[in-house]
Amino acid sequence: MIAIIKYNAGNIQSVQNALNRLGYESVITDDSALILAADKVIFPGVGEASSAMKYLKERGLDEVIYKITQPFLGICLGLQLMCKSTEEGNTKCLGIFDTEVKLFPPKEKVPHMGWNNFEQIKGKLFESIDSKEDVYFVHSYYAELCKDTVATCNYIKPFSAAMQKDNFYATQFHPEKSAGIGEQILKNFLEL
C-alpha cells in the first residue's frame, strides 16, 4: 500500500491521480498506523509552511515521520518541511535535511513557475532520466544546496531541486505534473 500523507496542504489529489495512471493504488490519510504500515509514503503539498507544520504537530505526524523506515518521498512543500526551517512564517520544520529554506529575492520574478531543467542529478530516483529534460516547478521558497542535494536547478541562484538522505527522498519540482519524465521519477521511487 502507498500512503499519501494528508496534512492541510493542496495538490494531494493530483499525486493520487498520477499514481493511478501508473497502475498503483494509494490511500490519502493522516492515520499514523496506516502511514507506518505502508510500503511507500508520499508527502506532497502546495501551501503555507506554518499551518502545515501546525497540522502535522497537532496530529503527531511530525513524530510519525521520524519513525518511517520505508521509502518516503516529499514533493514541493513536502521537501521544504523536511528541511531544518523555512523563512515562510519563520517556521521550524522536521530537520531531516540539514539545510534552510529561503525566499527568492523579491525583486526577481517570483514564484518560480513553469518548466525548467535540472543539473547534477544522481541516485536511484533519477535512473533513466536525462537532466536536459524539463520538469514543472511552482514555488517562491527554495532549499539551499547541502550534502543531501541530489539534483540542482538554477533560478536566480542554484538551489536543491531534489534531496535524498537514507530512505528519505524529496523533489522541489512536481513529478505528478511533469509529464513522462515525472512519471518515470515516480516509477523509480515506487520501485525502490
**How many H helices and E strands in the chain?**
6, 13
Active site residue 83: no
31, 132, 143, 186 from 124: Cα distances, Å: 29, 17, 21, 11
Active site residue 76: yes
Cell output for 151: 539534483
Phi and psi at residue 167, to the nearest 5°: -90, 5
Active site residue 174: yes
Query: Residue 134 is which amino acid?
Result: D
Catalytic position from the list 25, 63, 76, 119: 76
Catalytic position from the list 127, 174, 183, 191: 174
Catalytic position from the list 88, 112, 153, 176: 176
Helix (H) or strand (E) holding 73, with range, is strand 72-75
**Cβ atoms of residues 38 and 2 within 8 Å:** yes
Show which residues are catalytic.
Answer: 76, 174, 176
